[in-house]
């Protein structure tokens, strides 16, 4: 049991460290080429099937569909229900934190910003309408949800971790390609998910 707890603590600290590294990467991303990279990826033409895979990957990050995934797995896999609830809790926490921060940091989404001088459209803190989603680009709630879901499902089903990671990566890419977010928004969402999951794993290392 002690060895299992030690392994869990090391894993959770590794996830937290990864979150800090990704979080620090947000700053240079904002200042160097964030807008240009966003526009370049949005104009990128992917092969038909790959483009479809990227577009439908939003299912892995959208609230109602994520809830449907977790509910289905919980209903089917009776023996792992506690772990599935834990995975759902991590996903919910990450989503809540990311979406709460949207109302602190106001940024116009790429598809709604009038980008002329190459600068991303940041607005004053707590600016704009609470319900205006076009001003809620930072951070990406979808990215935070997708990454947290991938981590949670990997805890429940370790053998599927590479599949879950692939789904999360595609979901994050979709947010940029669809011009819903800048790369720094996505990085911030990923960092939030990693840090929230780390906290949850430290709290419950088993």
Model confidence over 20-78: pLDDT tens digits?
Answer: 788 778 878 777 778 777 777 767 777 777 778 878 888 899 889 999 999 999 999 99
Top pLDDT among 165 and 178 is at 165
Nearest to 190 by CA among 148, 137, 138, 134: 148
- Rg, Å, the chain Cα set: 17
Top pLDDT among 4 and 160 is at 160
Q: Residue 46's domain spans which residues?
A: 2-203
Asked if residues 29 and 183 have their Cβ atoms less than 8 Å apart, the reply is yes
Nearest to 110 by CA among 205, 58, 34: 34
Nearest to 90 by CA among 18, 148, 175, 157: 148
When divided into structural domains, the chain yields a total of 1
Q: How far apart are CA 103 and CA 127, in angstroms?
A: 8
Model confidence over 171-200: pLDDT tens digits?
Answer: 998 898 888 899 999 999 999 999 999 999
Model confidence over 97-143: pLDDT tens digits?
Answer: 999 998 888 888 887 776 544 455 777 788 766 677 888 889 999 99
Residue identified by tokens 């940024």 is 107
* pLDDT of amino acid 118: 45
């Amino acid at each position: 049991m002690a060895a299992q707890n030690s392994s869990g603590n090391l894993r959770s600290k590794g996830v937290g460290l990864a979150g800090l590294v990704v979080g620090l990467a947000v700053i240079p991303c904002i200042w160097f080429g964030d807008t240009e990279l966003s526009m370049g990826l949005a104009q990128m033409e992917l092969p038909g099937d790959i483009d479809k895979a990227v577009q439908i990957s939003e299912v892995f990050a959208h609230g109602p569909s994520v809830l449907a995934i977790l509910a289905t797995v919980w209903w089917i896999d009776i023996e792992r229900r506690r772990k599935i609830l834990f995975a759902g809790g991590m996903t919910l926490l990450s989503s809540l934190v990311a979406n709460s921060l949207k109302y602190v940091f106001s940024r116009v989404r790429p598809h709604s910003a009038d980008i002329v001088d190459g600068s991303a459209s940041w607005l004053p803190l707590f600016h704009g309408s609470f319900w205006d989603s076009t001003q809620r680009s930072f951070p990406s709630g979808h990215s935070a949800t997708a990454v947290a879901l991938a981590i949670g499902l990997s805890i429940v089903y370790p053998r599927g971790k590479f599949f879950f990671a692939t789904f999360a990566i595609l979901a994050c890419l979709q947010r940029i390609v669809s011009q819903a977010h800048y790369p720094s928004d996505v990085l911030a969402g990923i960092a939030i998910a990693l840090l929230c999951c780390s906290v949850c794993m430290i709290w419950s290392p088993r």
